[in-house]
Amino acid sequence: MTRYEIFNEMLFEAYCKKAITNAVKKERYKKAARGRIEQPLSTLTDAMLYTLAAPEEETDLPEEPFQVFRFQNRSFPIYDRKLGAALSYLMPRDREIVLLYYYAGLKDKAVAPLVHLSQATVCRRRNAAIKRLRELMEAPV
């Protein structure tokens, strides 16, 4: 190894040490600044803790559905996480057909004009979508 290579190696090591030292200092400074802003809960008074609590109206509300699909001014809440995820993988038109058929209770004849397809196409796409949903729901997570 030449003197030049040794010098470059020493220079690079010094640069790395300085960079690490600066990164550590920066993180310590951030932590100290955060510590000055935040207070432990044990130092707060009961009145202050009460103001941090959620209002009673919020706690009495039912839990929101995991996923909501909307189509033609209708909302379809899906409470099953796995089903919601599987529905999101379907093509939008197929998802609309499935939601209108199973959740809105419409028959293929009533769904067809809403999605601008023939009744036979709606039936075929619905069956294919149900098959795809089964595959997605049975797949390991």
Mean pLDDT of the 114-124 span: 94
Is 60 exceeded by the pLDDT of residue 71? Answer: yes
Closest CA to 76 of 101, 58, 108: 101
Domain boundaries 67-138, CATH class: mainly alpha
More confident residue, 47 or 80: 80
Q: For 39-43, 52-56, 77-81, which range has the lowest pLDDT when averaged over its residues?
A: 52-56
Model pLDDT, residue 109: 95
pLDDT tens digits, one per residue of 7-20: 999 999 999 999 99
Q: What is the pLDDT of residue 141?
A: 59
Instruction: Provide DSSP, 25-92.
Output: HHHHHHHHHHHHH---GGGS-HHHHHHHSPPHHHHHSPPPPSEEEEETTEEEEE--HHHHHHHHHS-H
**Could you give the C-alpha distances from 39 to 46, 48, 49, 98, in angstroms and in order?**
14, 12, 12, 51
Q: Is the pLDDT of residue 47 over 90?
A: no
pLDDT in tens, 28-37: 998 888 878 7
- Domain residue limits, the chain: 3-52, 67-138
Average pLDDT for 119-139:
93
